[in-house]
Amino acid sequence: MKNLITVSALLLGSQVTAFSQEQPNIVMLFVDDLGWADLGYNNPVFDTPNINKLKSDGLYFSRAYVASATSSPSRASLLTGKESLRCGFVRHIYGKDTSLEFETFDKDPGKMKSRAYLPLEEITYAERLKEFGYYNMFVGKWHLGTEPYFPTKQGFDAMYGTCEHGHPNNYYQPFFKTNNPFPKARKNTYLTNLIGDGAVDFINKYDKKTPFLLNVWYYGVHGPQIGRKDLVAKYEKKGLTGKYAQYAAMIEALDETVGEIRSSLEKKGIADNTVIIFSSDQGGAFKNGHLRGGKIGGDALAEGGSRVPFIIYDPTHKKMMGKTITQPVETIDVYPTLVELASGKPCKDKQVVGKSLVPVLKGKKLKDRDLFMFRSYEDQNAAIINGEWKLIKYRSGKVQLYNISNDESETTNLINVYPERTKDMLERLNKWIEEATPKELLLYKNRHKAQRKAKFYINKCRSASCMQSGLKQASA
């Protein structure tokens, strides 16, 4: 399919100059492990004035989700515009052996394989934007394969601060034990600020006539929790202790870079023609406010693990800036959104599942649709969202149904109150899993076992005693 893109780019070459002057620059800020509740506008414990301002200046999506609450799969779905399951990712990449196409995880009850890199055949939004004349810069964490599969092989023209590692060993030098992309950085340099400096430097020095895509994927605020020293002292004075004080300091350092990036756009005189998108790859590892679940603990498909911050700042759509959208969206929507912003036309890529959010920027509402999530680490493995309703499925057969509008904390399992809705949503979820799962991921021929268990569980739970059991399970 990439050959088709190359041909299309050649055919469109004569058009690039014509529309490039009107196209927006695009800055994609993607944070690692930043919880939905871990920003100042949701929790005053955290000082994030720059991100708070980005939210108030932009269009805020209060119910944004990731297709898989884990690093590599979340990145794959963002880049390709489709659920990571379709790309062959059900877990994050563990190893560094590029001779392996797939990895396994002994503790996975589903016994599924997962990809060890993003195949070069997958089409990324960077490759699509090159068709429209964009220069694409990648800064920071990749975690989608080693050097043969790096960003410069997936549509990006250049990269800065990128290596194969999923997280640093330290946020001070040496940042990584091997293949450190910053070997000459000074001892007291903080990694998050170094990533921000790379983005600012790119903006300051950019001198091409074509628009740019600046992809800034932070290593922070992933563990180890090592905050910038001056900021840790600040939060300890506020009463925070241990890793939580370190985490708060990491977030404020991140916030500083967001402000510096916006300031550099202003000084360059291009802020009025630059779209900024801000999001995270999954929920946080700490408190997550009133939301249930989180990155760890086997409950990542709950709101605390899969709901993420999501802001679009687009100065050319001033009418919707400063507003909040409560309709569910997913980060797979970024790809078609970028294509439409860059080309001025709706994305028609057949492989893309996400929906462009440009109509929302224009004040319109998206049609109701199912959003799906999948991962394969533990018992809890799949979920479906439609409007205010959410169903979570477990391999053991347990099923949970929640009305998120009335129960954001997911405390009341409604499978017995709405048995037909439960059955219908479960059937749609199972149908999607069957259709979206690449057959090469299945180690054994028992993939229907969990679906049978789920149906049995629903029939069994029509009794009042099981309803009470379901409520206890939901709040566990």
Q: What is the DSSP string of 272-302?
A: GGEEEEEEESS--SS--TT----SSSS-TTS
CB of 409 within 8 A of CB of 473?
no
pLDDT at 443 (0 to 100):
67
Helix 242-268 to helix 229-237 angle (10° resolution) is: 120
pLDDT at 459 (0 to 100):
53
Instruction: Report in angstroms the alpha-carbon separations of 102 from 383, 385, 412, 441.
Output: 24, 29, 38, 8
CB of 310 within 8 A of CB of 327?
no
pLDDT at 68 (0 to 100):
97
Residue linked to tokens 């990439």: 2
pLDDT in tens, the chain (476 residues): 454 343 334 334 434 434 444 899 999 999 999 999 999 999 999 999 999 999 999 999 999 999 999 999 999 999 999 999 999 999 999 976 767 899 999 999 999 999 999 999 999 999 999 999 999 999 999 999 999 999 999 999 999 999 999 999 999 999 999 999 999 999 999 999 999 999 999 999 999 999 999 999 999 999 999 999 999 999 999 999 999 999 999 999 999 999 999 999 999 999 999 999 999 999 999 999 999 999 999 999 999 999 999 999 999 999 999 999 999 999 999 999 999 999 999 999 999 999 999 999 999 999 999 999 999 999 999 999 999 999 999 999 999 999 999 999 999 999 999 999 999 999 999 999 999 999 999 864 444 444 445 554 555 554 433 433 333 333 33
Q: How many C-beta atoms surround the C-beta of residue 230 within 10 A?
A: 11
pLDDT at 99 (0 to 100):
78
End-to-end alpha carbon distance in the chain: 46
Decide: helix, strand or coil at residue 92: coil
**CA dihedral sign of residues 242, 247, 253, 255:** negative
pLDDT at 453 (0 to 100):
52
Q: How many C-beta atoms surround the C-beta of residue 411 within 10 A?
A: 12
**CA dihedral sign of residues 217, 222, 226, 231:** positive
Omega cis (within 30) before 221 = yes
The amino acid present at 297, given as its one-letter code, is G
User: pTM of this prediction?
Assistant: 0.91
CB of 26 within 8 A of CB of 161?
no
Element of type H or E holding 386: strand 380-386
Residue linked to tokens 């959010």: 357
pLDDT at 13 (0 to 100):
41
Element of type H or E holding 305: helix 303-306
Residue linked to tokens 């180890």: 224
